[in-house]
Amino acid sequence: MPGSAAPLAGLAPNARPISAPRLRETEHDVVWWRQAAHGLPRPLSPSLVWLKDQGRWYTPFNQPGMTGPYDLRGWHRKVPAGAGSPR
């Protein structure tokens, strides 16, 4: 195979490439907090303090999950027009 300028994946899976970008900090805006706290009682429980440290990686915590009786946070509940967001 001819030489390539692009690095090959898998040669050192335990090491981050030196040229890979690094995020130093993540700031969450109001929209992110609204999404993360959807369906949770206010004020938020102290056990959710980890949310402030949630980076930009995927977490199922702030995404709609299962429907029906398993929808404990009301992600899939229909809201009548003008009724605001579900609790």
CA distance between the termini of the chain: 58
Task: Name, in order, each residue with C-beta under 8 angstroms of 12's C-beta and a sequence gap of 6 or more.
Answer: none
Task: Name, in order, each residue with C-beta under 8 angstroms of 52's C-beta and a sequence gap of 6 or more.
Answer: 28
Supply the pLDDT for residue 25. Answer: 83
Alpha helices, DSSP H, located in the chain: 30-36
pLDDT tens string, the chain, 87 residues long: the values are 556 666 666 677 788 888 888 888 888 999 999 999 999 999 999 999 899 888 888 888 889 989 989 998 999 988 665 555 554
Supply the pLDDT for residue 56. Answer: 83
Supply the pLDDT for residue 57. Answer: 83
